[in-house]
Every structure is written in structure tokens, then in C-alpha cells.
Amino acid sequence: MGRTNFFLTAAGLLMLMLMIGAAPTNSTSAKGATSAAEDALKSKGLTRVGIIYELDDDAHLQAGLRAMYQAKSKLEDNSRKRQAIDNDITAAGQKIAQLNEQERQLSEKIAQTSRRQANYNEMVLSLISIQSNIRDGYKYIDDRKKARAQVVDPTDDFITATQDLAAKMEAASKEYAALASDPAVTGAIAQINESAVPKVKLGPSAAFAKALPAVLRERDAINSAVIQCDVSNGVAVVDVTFNDSVQEKAVVDSGASAVSIPAAIARKLDLKPSKSDPPVKLKIANGQTVTAHLMHLKSVRLGQFRVEDVECVVMPEGAGKADILLGGTFLKNFVYRMDLATGQLHMAEIAKSPKGAPAPPATSPAKRDETTSADGKSVDDGKAAGTPAASDKAPATKPVAKVVDLPASPQKLVCDGGKSALAAQDGTPERGKPLITRASDEGTDELWTIKSNSDGMVQFINKKAKMALSTGMRDAAGIKLYAWPVNRNDSQLWKLEPVSEDGKTFKVVSKNSGFCLTAHPKAHGAGGAVTQEQWQDSDDQKWQFSAGEQ
């Protein structure tokens, strides 16, 4: 019996040793199968990211989205800059039209007035001032056009980035579909999942699936086509429809700032310049300078591309035979390239941002949200980082007063916490000089009489200079402000808008331009210039009244 137990014990030990020896062989075999499966997926262009096997364009999706949205941001910024310049030019043209009418009326009045009358010299001085402002207006328009020409158009960058990203994502989507039906891929994933915790799967990632339709909408919002032109002697001519009714031949002229309409065509379109249409001086082909007028076309259509409310220049009668020029006020709405060799005009139009477009990714390198599995491994849930939580709220804004209480005159206008006062320069001549801010010295050139009207506007009249705070009929940001002879023009009217709860701090907004009274940020106490600027919520634009010595 004892011998039998011995043999049984020996046999059991032998079996145990054989099992122990066989275990490493099975483990090695399993690892080898998993490694082979991973290699098979890698050969298909798949990389494991978290628990998802992704194609390269999926793994680098955030970089592509960032490139597209950075290009779009530059495009929108460019559009705002160009629109602001266009608005400046339009406003200046309207002011010139008003000044031209004032000049005409005053010239007629002077012609009927005796030189001996007391107000004769005053009228002549006013006429000279108006004529000077007209010259300044034309110079300002020329300067703004030069500024517009320097604004680099990034539209092509956006189109390229969007179309490239959309093409890559579409190709990746089709490849995912093919991989999902590939036995080698499905078999490899099944092999890995025999030992994987948590289980892995084939892409696309959740971020890719969410972004694809939105990126395709961005791409589809880009409308492109090729327009065939008639080319002769290096000049491209196309068929254009104006106001949805009149079709004419037009020369594609990227050097012309606006669409130009000859007088004969203007009659067909019922465009009749009036005194309210701003005049512009143009030099035509024979060297003659003519006065045309800025007007607006209801629409301009070239092929499939239609633009509404297009500014144009209507040429005067007697300007000679002239072509219609398809210039900047139409072409600015497109990315275009002229190929004279083939007679083709390549055009692309960008529509407004489509609804449902994904938010631009953060500028920092994108990360994926990760959760932790039971075994401590990170698990990718496919969400893009940087998305604010639903509970995030915008910071509360402080309440501000509704009106500014006007104190008894005269008062000082101070900014920068009361350190700098608005003053008229000493010896200001009759035609005005730029205003300054400086450390207060209690001089009368810092005191201003405040006059209000029924519209809630105020006029500031300097006690020493006897002149009013004025924009000088200029509508552009950055223009220096003047003390100017008192008149009733909008250029001397200002609105005080509270920016503090007690209403004692306010911004000073020009009725003429809509810009804000702004002290030079680097020269508050040292005679710095005073300009009109867009509201930036800076201390240089926040003003208070301060009583000074009478």
C-alpha cells in the first residue's frame, strides 16, 4: 500500500512539472498571435490610439482642423478690415457730396453779397474752409484706397486648407468602410480582443465622425467655377448681367477699384446721378480728368455668381467711348485667377459659415479625454479636449448707469484716473489745431463749456480758445481731433455713454463718426495727441468731469 502511494505521488509531481513547463509555451504562443495581429493592422495603415485603431488622417485630425480654422479666422479678420476701409471710403464720399453742395450754395450767396457787408469776409473764410475739407476728403479717400490695397487676402489659404482637409477625410471615411469588411482586419482585431482589456475597435474616432459632416459643409459652402472669356490683345471680356435685366460685355479689370458704367449703359439701367451721389474725379484713357458719381447697382451677375448692392462709378456724358469695367467692388467678393492663355477666369466664392460647423480647436496641441479602465490603463473615448463644460457660465457684467449727469459749466475733461486733462493748445489759430492731453495746470485752456441739445448730444466749447471739440468732418479711426470754430455740424456733437455704475465715468462718442474720444496712451501728461478710435474699454477712453478754477 505504501509503495502504491509512493508511485501515485511521484506521478502527480511529474504531471505538475509537465503542466508548469507547458504554461510558458502557451503564453508565448498567445503573445505571438497578438503581435502578428498588431503587425497586420499596422500594415493596413492603422495606429492604435487609446482603444481605437485609426488611420493617419484620423489620428492627426486636430492639426487639420486647426489649420482650416486659423485660415478662416484670418479670412474673417481680413474681411472686417476691408469692410471697415470700404465704409470709411463710402462715408468720406458722402461727406464730400455734402460739402460740395455747401460750397455751391455758399458760392452763390457770396456772388450775390456786396464786399462791404459785414459778413462777407466771414463767408469767404467759411468757403475756404469747405474747399480745404473737400481736398482733405479726396486725399483721405486716396489714402484709404492705398491702405485697402495693402490688406493681404488670405481667402485662397482658407479654400486650400478646407478642400484639402475635406478630401482627406472623405478618403479616410471610404477606407474605413473598406477596412471594416476586410477579413484580415476583422480577424486581427478579434485576435487582439481575446486578451485585450478593455476591448479595442476599428475607427473612425468619435471626433472624426462628428467633424466629417461639418467639414464637408464648410467645403460645400465654397462655390467655384471657371468662366470662359473672350481675350483680345491681353484684355479679357465677359458677359455680365446688371440688375437682372441688362446684359452687356464687360472688361475684367482687377486694377479698377470699382465697377465702371459708361453714361450710355447708365441710361439703360436708369442710373441718374443726383446731388446726393458722391462725386469722384477720374482720369480717363485720353488723359482727361472727369467727374463721375458713386452709385449702386441692385445686382451684378457673372455666370453662376451674383452679388447684390454693388457700388459702381457712373461716368459722365462726354467722357468718350468707354468700356464697362468689372472692377474691385464686384471682384472683391471672390478669389479669382485669370489665365489669358486659355481665356479662363477661375473664380471661387465663399458663402457665410454653414450652420452646425464645428468649433475651432484650441491653439494648444489637442489632447483626447481619457478615462481609466479597471486595470489602470487609459481608455480613449474619442472626445476632443477643449470643449467647455455645460455648466460653464460667462462672467457676470457689472451694471452701469443709464445717463451721465451734466454738471455746471465750465468743467475739465480728465482721463487716466484724473491724471490727464483735455486742453486746447496755446495760440490756437482761427482754423484750428489738434487738441492734447497733459498734466493739469488749472489753465483756462483746460476748461470746457458743456451745451446739450434735445437729442441728448452735447457740444464742448473751450473757454480760452472759444472753439468746439471737433472731428473736423473726418470719419476715420486714428484721426487727430481739433478745436474748431463753433458751428452746428455733427462733427461737433458728442454723446456721453456711462461706463460705470455711478455714471461718473463715461465714453465720449462722436455723432459724426461713431468713434470715441481717446487720449494717446503713451503721452498722457506730456502733450499727447487726442484721436478718435474704436471703443476698446481702455483707461485712455474713460473720461470724467472735474471742476476747475474759473
Highest-confidence segment of 214-223, 248-257, 345-354, 420-429: 248-257
Give residue limits of the domains in the chain.
Answer: 30-220, 224-350, 412-546
pLDDT at position 260, please? 94
Dihedral sign for Cα atoms in the order 54, 57, 60, 61: negative
Q: Which residues, in sequence order, are CB contacts of 473 under 8 Å at separation 6+?
A: 95, 99, 133, 136, 137, 489, 491, 512
What pLDDT is stored for residue 270 in this prediction?
A: 93
Element (H, E) at 436: strand 433-439
Higher confidence at residue 430 or residue 269?
A: 269
Determine the pLDDT at residue 151: 75
- pLDDT band at residue 41 under the 50/70/90 scheme: very high
Q: Which of 18-22, 71-75, 354-358, 545-549 has the highest mean pLDDT?
A: 71-75
Predicted local distance difference test score (pLDDT) of residue 289? 81
Percent of the chain at pLDDT exceeding 70: 78
Residue 499 grid cell: 461706463
The pLDDT of 464-492, averaged and rounded, is 77
Is residue 384's pLDDT more than 70? no
Distance CA 166, CA 244 (A): 34
Amino acid letter, residue 528: G
In this prediction the pTM is 0.41
- pLDDT tens-digit map of 416-430: 666 788 888 765 444
- Residue 440, pLDDT above cutoff 80: no
CA distances, 442 to each of 411, 517, 541, 548 (Å) = 11, 21, 21, 6
SS (H, E, C) 466-498: CEEEECCCCCCCCCECEEEECCCCHHHCEEEEE
The DSSP symbol for 411 reads B
**Distance separating alpha carbons of residues 41 and 22, to the nearest angstrom:** 29
CATH architecture of 412-546: Trefoil (2.80)
Per-residue pLDDT tens for 143-179? Answer: 888 887 777 666 667 777 888 898 899 999 999 999 9
Q: Which CATH superfamily is domain 224-350 in?
A: Acid Proteases (2.40.70.10)
Kindly indicate the confidence band of residue 30, based on its pLDDT and cuts at 50, 70 and 90: low
pLDDT confidence bin for 375, thresholds 50/70/90: very low
What percent of the chain clears pLDDT 90, i.e. is strictly above it? Answer: 21
The overall average pLDDT reported for the chain is 78
Q: Domain 30-220: give its CATH architecture.
A: Orthogonal Bundle (1.10)
Grid cell digits, residue 404: 451721465
**Between 20 and 65, whose confidence is greater?**
65
Mean pLDDT (whole number) for 32-47: 87
pLDDT band at residue 15 using 50, 70 and 90 as cut-offs: low
Residue 70 above 80 pLDDT? yes
Q: Can you tell me the mean pLDDT for 435-452?
A: 81
Residue 398: what pLDDT? 53
pLDDT tier, 219 (very low <50, low <70, confident <90, very high otherwise): confident
What pLDDT does 488 receive?
Answer: 72
Give the confidence band of 433 by pLDDT, cuts at 50, 70, 90: low
Whether 527 has a pLDDT exceeding 70, the answer reads no
Among the listed ranges 250-259, 426-435, 486-495, which one has the minimum average pLDDT value?
A: 426-435
